[in-house]
Amino acid sequence: MTEHPLVQQYIAAVCAEVRCREVHGEIRQELLCHLEDLADRLLAEGTPADRVAAEALAHMGDPAVVGRELNRAHRPRTDWSVIALVGLLVAIGAVALLSVEQSNWWGEGARPGFWLVHLALTAVGLGAALGLVWLDYRLVRQYWWAPFAVAAALLVSLGPRPYDGSLWQLAIYESTPLLFAVAAAGAFARLNWTRPWAWPWAFSLWVVPSYLFFAASSARYFPLYSAVWLVLVLASRPKWPHLAGFLSLWTGMGLVGLLTMKAHHKQRLMIYLNPARDADGAGYMATQSKLALQNAGLWGHGWAAPLDLVPNAHSDLLFTYMTYAFGWAAGAAFCLLFGFFLFRLGRMTLLVREPIGHMLALALLTLLAFQFIWSVLMASGITPILGLRLPFTGYGPQVVAHLAALGLMLGVYRRKDMLPAHNGLTH
Amino acid sequence: MSISKELLKGSTVPMILSLLDRQPMYGYEMIAAIARESGGVFDFKEGTLYPILHALEAEGHVESFWSEDSGARRRKYYLITGSGRGHLAARRAEWARFRQAVDRVLGEGQA
C-alpha cells in the first residue's frame, strides 16, 4: 500500500498544500496508517486487490482540500492581545517617565533628557524582540551552555565592584538573569530525573548562578533566578526524594548562614525585612515609598508632581511615582492591566505543548511575573527593596532584557503548531 | 441518504470530542465508531477528519501521542484535555438548545 503510486501521489498532493515542511513526515505517517487500515477493511469486504488503492483514496476525499485544511492547523501563531498589551504597558511607562522628567527631579543615574534615552532603549528592546521571534528556540536545548557561559563570564569579569552609574555596567547586570533563565530552561529540557546525576546537576544549576550573583554584588537577582529555577524544577516533575533533598540542603545552608553571620550583617538583614526599624537610614527608601503611596489619593497629585523624597522614582520605584502622580485609580488600573497581560502569557505557555518551548515559556513567564509582583510589593513596603524593576517600564537597560524575553516567548508561541510531535507532557 | 454538509459541519467536533471523552483513539478508530454509532448515517470523507483533529490540538482541546508498538503499525492517538472537556460540555449544551428550538419550530409547522 505504502509504495502504491496512487497513494504516493495522494499524499504528495496533500503535503503540497501544507507550507510547514517539518510536519510533512507526521502527516504522511498518519495518512498512510489510515489508508492501510482502510485497505484491510476493503479487502475483508471482498474488494479485488487491484482496486483497493483507488477505492480507499476515494473514501479519503480531495487531497487539495484536506491539504489546505491541514495547512490552516499548522500555521505560525501570533497572540495579538499580548502584543497590544505590551505596547500599552510600554506607552504607560514612557508617559510616567516623562512626568518624572518634567517634575525636575534628578535621582540616581538620571540627568536631563533621560526620557529620550529611555525611548532609545525601548527601541533597541523592540528590535531585539523582533529578531528573537524568528529564532528557532529549540537551539536553546542544544546550546544551553552558551548563555550560561556568557552570563558567568560577565559576572566574573565585573566582580564585586560597586555600581558606578554607567548604563553599560547596568546593562551587563540586567542581561544575566535572562541569560541564566534561558540556559536553565534548555538544561532542564534535557534533564531526566531517573538518572543518578540529575539531582546534583539540577542543584548546581541553582548554586552556580546564585553564587555568582552574590559575588558580583548583584544579589537582587538571587530571588528572581531562584524563582525561575524552582518553577523549572517543579515543571520537570521530580520525585519526592529529590525535593526532600533540596529542602534539607537549603535548611542546612540557611542554618549555617545564620549561625556564621556577623552581627552587623544580621542587623542589616533585620532592617531589610522591617524597614520601619530604621526609617531614616537603611529603611529610608522603603518607608518613603510607602508614605508616598498612602498619600497618593484617588486621582493623584497631577502631572509632573514632584516627589523629591523618593529616590529612584524613575527606575526601581516608578510604580510609586505613577501612583503618586496619577492616583490609586491609575495604580490599580495599571496592576489590572499587567495582571491581564500575565494571564494572556500564561495562556500562551499552556498552549505550547513541545517540551523545550514549554520550559522556556515557563522560565520567561516567571521572570516577568516575579519582577512585576515584587516591584509592586516593594513599592508598598511589603517586600525588601531589591532593585528589581517593573517590566517594560522604568528607566534603564532592563527594558531591553524584558522586551527580549517577550520576543522569545512570542517566538516559542509562533512555532507551537509547526513542530513534529513529541510524546506529550502527560506521558 | 446523505446528510447535507452544512448540517454536518457544526456537529463533527462535539462528536469527536465525546468519543475521545471515553477513551483515547486514533483517526481510523474514530471514523469507524462514528459510522457504527450513527447507524451508518454519518459516512463522511475520511481525510477531512485529520485537519479537524490537528486544529483541535492547536486549540489545546486534545493532545496527541504516537503509540510505541514496534512491529505493529505506529499509530497517532488523540486524547482529550481538561480544556477539551469544557469545550465539549459547552457544545453539548449548545446542541441541546439548538435541537429543542428547531424541533419546536418544525413541530409547530406541522400542526
Residue A4 CA to residue A388 CA, distance in Å, equals 63
User: pLDDT higher for B68 or A86?
Assistant: A86
Interface test with B, best of A34, A38, A353 (most B CBs within 10 A): A34
- The answer to whether residue B7 scores a pLDDT higher than 80 is no
- The pairing of strands B62-66 and B76-80 is antiparallel
Nearest to B55 among A14, A72, A351 (CB): A72
In chain B, residues with a C-beta closer than 8 Å to the C-beta of A79 are: none
Under a CB-based contact definition with an 8 Å cutoff, are residues A303 and A102 in contact? yes
Q: How confident is the model at residue A402 (pLDDT cuts 50, 70, 90)?
A: very high
> Cβ-count burial of A217 within 10 angstroms (0-12 exposed, 13-18 middle, 19+ buried)?
middle
- The answer to whether residue A384 scores a pLDDT higher than 60 is yes
The secondary structure of residue B54, as a DSSP letter, is H
Question: Which range, of A103-112, A161-170, A198-207, B15-24, averages the lowest pLDDT?
Answer: A103-112
Q: Do A30 and B50 touch (CB under 8 A)?
A: yes
Residue A329 CA to residue A337 CA, distance in Å, equals 12
Q: Do B51 and A69 touch (CB under 8 A)?
A: yes
In chain A, residues with a C-beta closer than 8 Å to the C-beta of B73 are: 33, 36-37
Q: How confident is the model at residue A281 (pLDDT cuts 50, 70, 90)?
A: low
Residue pLDDT, tens place only, B36-59: 888 877 777 888 899 999 999 999
Share of chain A above pLDDT 70, in %: 90
B95/chain A closest Cα distance in angstroms:
24
Residue pLDDT, tens place only, A40-54: 999 999 888 888 888
Query: Which residues between 259 and 298 in chain A have a beta carbon less than 8 angstroms from any beta carbon of chain B?
Result: none
Question: Who's near A2: CB < 8 A, 6+ residues apart?
Answer: A32, A36
Task: Please indicate if any CB of chain B lies within 8 Å of the CB of A73.
Answer: yes
Mean pLDDT of all residues belonging to chain A:
86
Q: Do B55 and A426 touch (CB under 8 A)?
A: no
Residue A93 CA to residue A112 CA, distance in Å, equals 17
Share of chain B above pLDDT 70, in %: 90
Q: What angle do CA A26, A48, B34 make, to 5 degrees?
A: 50
| Interface A:B, Cβ pairs < 8 A | 85
B90/chain A closest Cα distance in angstroms:
19
C-alpha cell at A379: 513599592
